[in-house]
A and B are shown apart, each in its own frame.
Chain A
Amino acid sequence: MNNISYYKDGKGLYCLFFIWLLISFSSVYARNTIRYSTAFTQQHQIQGTITDGINPIPGVTIAVKNKSGTSAISDYNGQYIISASATDTLLVSFIGFKTALVPIKGRKTVDIQLIYDTTTLKEVRVNAGYYSVKESERTGSIAKITSKDIENQPVTNVLATMQGRMAGVNIVQTTGVPGGGFDIQIRGQNSLRTNGNNPLYIIDGVPYSSDPIGTGINSAVLPTQPSPLNSINPDQIESIEVLKDADATSIYGSRGANGVVLVTTKKGKSGKTKFAARMSTGTGTVTRFMDLMNAQEYLNMRIEAFANDGISPIPDYAYDVNGTWDQNRNTDWQKELLGGTAVITDIQTSLSGGSEQTQFLLSGNFNKQTTVFPGDFNYKKGNLHLNVNHESENKKFRINTSIGYTIQNNNQPRLDLMREAVKISPNAPALYNTDGTLNWENNTFNNPLRNLEGKYSSKTNDLIANVMLSYNLTQDLQLKSSFGYTTLNNTETTANPSTRYNPAFGLGPEFSTLIASGADRKSWIIEPQLNWNKTIRQGKLNILLGSTFQSQQSNQLVQYASGFSSNSLIYNLSSASNIFTMVSEETEYKYQAFFARLNYNWQEKYILNLTGRRDGSSRFGPGNQFAVFGAVGGAWLFSKENIFKNNAFLSFGKLRASYGITGNDQIGDYQYLNTYASTGINYGGIVGLQPTRLFNPNFGWETNKKFEVALETGFFNDRVFLTAAWYNNHSSNQLTGIPLPGTTGFSTLQGNLDATVQNRGIELTLRTVNIQKNDFNWSTNINLTIARNKLLQFPDLESSTYSNQYIIGQSLSIQKVYHFTGVDPQTGIYTYEDVNGDGQLSGIEDKKTIKDFSPQYYGGLQNTLRYKHWQLDFLFQFVKQINYNESIYFGVPGSSGNQPKAVLNHWQQLGDIADYPIYTDGTNSTAVDAYYKYFESDGVISDASFVRLKNISLSYEIPLKDVQCKLFFEGQNLLTFTKYKGADPEFKSSGYLPPLRVLSAGVQFSF
């Protein structure tokens, strides 16, 4: 064959890839065919419909037994056509169903009913990144969800779809404002750096940088900078696999320490050209409000506070109680400012089809959400996705291309109103004057709606493209290369017009400001790979060799403009009289690696899997750029031993274990250089240069040694399937910003700290098929994670700058706090335990109470019920944890600003036993001092465990002939059971809008 010469002459395999890339678009391949010798004699067209008893099943593969090369796939109505002879037998297979062998017996029409089979689930192939493995034969720890789970959720962020559904994966939403982010931790916190615990994201083989885009300065409305993951559209995801243990992650080397999230997008399927659409509309509201004082209670508190302070008359500045404001007004500000309803609209369409050789999928969708804030704010996302696959006729050459383009447009107020909404005096004046302008009540009212004058806007365009080429050199040897390209462009603006200031300042548009930032991120990756299979004795050997070349370039420009001639020109930088550049940055990251996998599978009973990677990264200084990572994994399918053969009880049994080393390089670029950077700030005609950081060139990788052992068992023909895993990970050589006292001029120093963090835990997943009838199915998935995080080793912790933060033997998420001992009945002042007995509360020596904020256990309980055309799916998420309670929002009781209703139970006179202290406006400094210590005590920390009906979805399939049509209802965060009194128990970022309760309904059809 022609192609052999390409690699015989040894010119280099890279050339091959590029040549193939070229010729794959030319007609060269058309000539390169192999004639099939199969004689198609006495063939008939056989047709029929494939159903599960009720509904047609599309996408089923129908093949003719012992005749390779003849196959068909059922269309959307479950119909198929195939050529076969009268004596042939059809081989009908589909994931989730038992494979059926149907003899044709001379029939022209063969209708086939498939039977659900849970046992086949373990035959499903699981994506492990560079390779895929059969579920039953995998040696690593991989959790997976598929589009079936993802589609049911009215959410826009890919991480939201995973919440509560995967063992060992803890995901917390950080804000209810659309466009915000999620925190994710896979098997706990490995790195001391709070921002060094992100997993590696790979979308269709292309690494996708999850580093936040934009600038923190701009997105004040969000607790974290916008996450690029918002660009991924959940509706286009076929599956998400999370790689957890060393066996699965070591092949990702220096980037695998925190786990790997593999996102696979939907692919085109051959068959009739199909159009599908899904439309839904929903609403979002705040899940719960706090119970706060009404105006009368509040004013009584204020009056009592001034009386306690001995201040009379009530001072000028206390407008709320000195008579300046109407004493009879009573406004529920939470309802006023956060009580709106967000409207959510979602439209998805797709067109797919193709032949056996070439398939395509084109999908487009649009999502829009408004907010619960007053005013016209919204988030819009549009997305286009194209996938084309082609296989040469001789099945040697394959090309697989996906391109996704997403546009996001987010318009939000400059600031989240949450913090102010709970603190405004309930008798504060009306928001608007009668003429519709903002009411400042003669300069006495800091109108919260001023924050809506400022506008935050973010526009993100994101392209992800990949091409995968593969060619089978011989039957055993496959050469493959993936090429990926991503580009992301983000512009953000925060406009702060002068109208947000009290007019009393007399500030005109010359005081309006605009922060405008633009960020670009481009990356490419090439990963040539060789895959060699060989049967050696009774075992199968597979060797994979590959390498990675990756480069990422980022640019960022942030400008601050002020002094506008008019507020209507605020987005026009040229009408600003002053512009200065806050950030002008370009960074380059280069990464190179060589990786290998060796897998030996003896009779599908004993499996050994070796993986390794040698990594080089530009993030480290000379001499520290390269490191080697690797893992060994093994599995024993003991159910295949003779002793268990034909055992009615145990249908599947596998014991697997793995050990290996992975790394973490999430530290940002150029950290090893001693540099000065431009500040953009002018002084006497000179633009300043400032030292970038404290200088430390000698730091290297953080390493994470992972060990896991797991038992997978299936009972009663796998209708009960239990997986239990125990893992023990040690993360050491911690690469961290070591906190320094301010006297050093900086707050941190980048370096390796010889500290070790242990993450240990048990993960249980149980899948049961409770009822399996033709018209009624009920299955349950339960996952439970019990995890412990522990600091094992820390050199000189006591004398280090971390001594206040960590304790050896405790979790990284602890807080050392005072022990709150209630209100002193004599003085009405908060008291705390004076541990060292020196008569005062002296910080660290008295903060001996330890509170661990990491969840003790968490999990989910998912049920799927199907009755005829109805399907009900619901997920309960549960977390056992503690969190800061509602007190964290409020100032000293008695001072200006509202308080929870519970504060009514306060100390008033000698001998009172009360929960809350004496009221003071703030001049009682002992009471104030004591109150602020409260925030550093266990008094503000409460149980925040919860059980939440995270997701529910109910659908009804209308039985129609040619059109598949489904009506559905979906809900998110519908019910919450908790003792927690704060805003939302799930939620960690106080002061921001908590996650919303979403109700949505819609229709889905295809033809």
Chain B
Amino acid sequence: MKNFNINKLQSRDSNPTIWKSILSLSCLTVFVIMISSCDNFVEVDLPGSQLTANAIFEEKATANAAMTDIYSKIRDAGVLTGSASGLSHLLGNYCDELKFYGDPQNSTVAFYNNSLIVSNTEVKGLWDSSYNQIYAANAVIEGMDKSVHLPEVDKKQLKGEALFVRALLHFYLTNLFGDVPYLTSTDYEQNSIVKKKSVTMVYTSAKEDLEQAIQLLPENYVSEDRVRPNKYAAHALLARVDLYAGLWDEASNEASAVLNNTELYNNEGDLDKIFLKESTATIWQLAPGFSRGNTLESVTFNFTSGPPPLSALNDSFMSAFNDNDLRKTHWIKAVTDGTTTWYHPFKYKYSDTESSREYSIIFRLAEIYLIRAEARAQAGELIGAKEDLNKIRNKAGLGDTLAGTQSEILDAILHERQMELFTEFGHRFFDLKRVGKIQSVLSIAKSGWDTRDVLFPIPEVELNLNPNLKPQNSGY
């Protein structure tokens, strides 16, 4: 084999003429100058697949894309996703709505057994994706404040939407984890050492955001099918926050703001149409990712033969239904193998259709009626409360409520919320908590229930990375 042996070449120093050495040296010099003279070689252009953050918010189309991507994220991951790792499914198992039948190694088991640990990955996922969505919302808010060329009307719309989303996610975080930070900036230096705020403070911040959102957002929807929030979506969330905060009059007023707009909203009479995408009882819903797609809820809950591959409705939940309740047959489906019968939520009926028929509804009119009913009952307005409650009952084929006293009415409302809002983003769990009945109800319904379980553990990794988030919720 040949070696390109450079040393061979030097062996004979036969022609030591001066010009040759000079030639060699000058050659070296030219070489050095040439190769060190073009530093701009290493400059590269931005790839076609990326845009700078500043440019994004100067154009309507891209600014909108930044905002709608947050809705996609909310739909696909985190607290509000209809998938098995969203609250509808996890909290359904965590309290007394669902029973888990699936693979014992499935991550839902820890929720069903109320045996969450500080390193639970689903809990961490809920935490992380919520704050990731909040970051994106804050980026939109900051982008709108800085934007020069975007028309004012679009700035207002997008900033309003982002504020609404920020309030919404913090609302869920504080209800799951108790005291949590309320983040209003994208500054990671601040956000990585942020301290917790009390639940009351979180509600106060959320209210501020929502009040501002109400100012900014338009009356009408900017999109087809109500997939982007308008002013009334912010009212609806504000009504809920006020109810949770025990601000009865304000909750009642915010609810009325929505209910009074009968042009937009109509308490759909047919139970089978409530969850269709064109329902006028819908205040805000999430569009599917595909043109033929429907909701992730239908994939999570629906099954055709038993035993259930994932979860089915709990026996105690099924027995809580009045026999005449139309919801029991219209929103629930029975599956039997001949000897055993299982029931699954059937609010969302379609999986694959020629064109989408159902979207995942986050806010709908029934909840607003029930919010106002409860707020009114709490404020002593019993007649008004019963009126609102009966609207929901009648629609479900039930007669007017027989409840008379304030506490009877409140109990009736709690029961109605259970039957109306089941497997919708953990309403049942949050309701039991805020009315103070969670221990008494779940310690009977759930063998693994423990007092600590009213709050999820804050992911341990978070406490380690940011000790300002300490202490851990008690019991973990």
Q: Which residues of A come within 8 Å of B, CB atoms?
A: 7, 10, 12-14, 59, 125, 131-132, 267, 269, 311, 316-318, 359, 389, 391, 398, 400, 423, 442-444, 446, 470, 472-478, 502-506, 510-511, 528, 530-535, 540, 542-543, 545-547, 549, 562-563, 577-578, 580, 584-592, 594, 614, 616-618, 625-626, 669-670, 673-679, 681-684, 686-692, 694-695, 739-747, 749, 799, 801, 803-804, 842-844, 891, 895-897, 922-923, 925, 928-929, 932, 936
Contact = CB atoms under 8 A, between A and B. Distances in A.
Given A684-B223, A932-B117, A743 B462 contact: yes
Nearest to A423: B105
A590 B44 contact: yes
B292 A398 contact: no
Contact of A743 (B68, B104, B194): B194
B131 A475 contact: no
B113 A618 contact: no
Contacts of A562: 290
A580 B290 contact: yes
Contact of B101 (A317, A442, A474, A535): A317
A897 B38 CA distance: 64
Contacts of A532: 24, 28
Contact of A506 (B4, B73, B128, B303): B303
A540 B5 CA distance: 14
A504 B303 contact: yes
B50 A692 contact: yes
B36 A745 contact: no
Interface stretch (B10-18, B268-276, B403-411): B10-18
A616 B41 contact: yes
B218 interface: no
A540 B10 contact: yes
A585 to B, nearest CB: 5
16 contacts: A59-B1, A316-B101, A391-B2, A477-B24, A505-B303, A533-B7, A542-B10, A549-B41, A563-B352, A577-B291, A626-B39, A676-B66, A799-B467, A896-B105, A928-B117, A929-B115
Contacts of A745: 131-132, 134-136, 138, 186, 188, 191
A300 to B, nearest CB: 18
Contacts of A442: 307, 337
Interface stretch (B51-59, B90-98, B393-401): B51-59
The 10 closest A-B pairs by CB, nearest first: A745-B135, A688-B69, A533-B10, A506-B304, A547-B35, A578-B290, A896-B104, A683-B68, A741-B465, A742-B128
A744 B135 contact: yes
Contacts of B462: 741-743
Nearest to B57: A676
Contact of B7 (A530, A540, A688, A741): A540
Nearest to A124: B3
Contact of B307 (A316, A398, A746, A749): A316
A673 B52 CA distance: 7
B57 to A, nearest CB: 9
Interface string B101-112: 101110001000
A692 B290 CA distance: 23
Nearest to A841: B118
Contacts of A589: 44
Contact of A132 (B3, B24, B351): B3
Nearest to A579: B290
Interface stretch (B224-232, B366-374, B413-421, B428-436): B224-232
A688 B31 contact: no
Given A474-B23, A502-B309, A923-B113, 16 more contacts: A59-B1, A317-B307, A476-B9, A530-B28, A533-B10, A540-B10, A682-B290, A683-B72, A683-B75, A691-B66, A745-B132, A745-B138, A843-B463, A895-B104, A925-B115, A929-B115
Contacts of A584: 49
Contacts of B49: 584-586, 677-678
A592 B41 contact: yes
B402 interface: no
B27 A691 contact: no
Contacts of B337: 442
B68 A684 contact: yes
Contacts of A614: 36
Contacts of B105: 423, 891, 896-897
Interface string B274-294: 000000000000010111110
B69 A897 contact: no
Given A59-B1, A742-B462, A925-B115, A131 B39 contact: no
B320 interface: no
A799 B468 CA distance: 10
B64 to A, nearest CB: 6
Contacts of B53: 674-676, 691, 695
A678 B65 CA distance: 9
Contacts of A895: 104
A586 B48 contact: yes
B32 A801 contact: no
Contacts of B223: 684
B39 A675 contact: no
B192 interface: yes
A318 to B, nearest CB: 8
A897 B106 CA distance: 12
Nearest to B305: A504
B42 interface: yes
Contacts of B31: 13, 528, 530, 545
B459 interface: yes
Nearest to A694: B188
Nearest to A800: B465
A472 B305 contact: no
Contacts of B153: none
B44 to A, nearest CB: 4
Given A670-B47, A681-B289, A473 B115 contact: no
A687 B104 CA distance: 38
Nearest to B61: A686
A844 B464 CA distance: 7
A444 B10 contact: no
Contacts of A132: 3-6
Nearest to B6: A531
Contacts of B224: 684
A267 B1 CA distance: 8
B306 interface: yes
A594 B42 contact: no
Contacts of A594: 32, 35-36
Contacts of A682: 72, 289-290
Contacts of B351: 510-511
A505 B447 CA distance: 28
B263 interface: no
Contacts of A474: 15, 20, 23-24
Contact of B100 (A317, A587, A695, A842): A317
B83 to A, nearest CB: 14
A452 B224 CA distance: 42
A686 B225 contact: no
Contacts of B138: 745
Contact of A473 (B27, B32, B44): B27
Nearest to A686: B68
Contact of A744 (B48, B114, B191): B191
B132 A742 contact: yes
Given A594-B36, A689-B51, A922-B115, A398 B24 contact: no
A618 B42 contact: yes
Interface centre among A547, A594, A681 (most CB of B within 10 A): A681
A578 B292 contact: yes
Contact of B6 (A533, A618, A891, A928): A533
A369 B296 CA distance: 41
B131 A543 contact: no
Given A10-B30, A131-B6, A594-B36, A690 B305 contact: no
A923 B114 CA distance: 9
A801 B465 contact: yes
B44 A443 contact: no
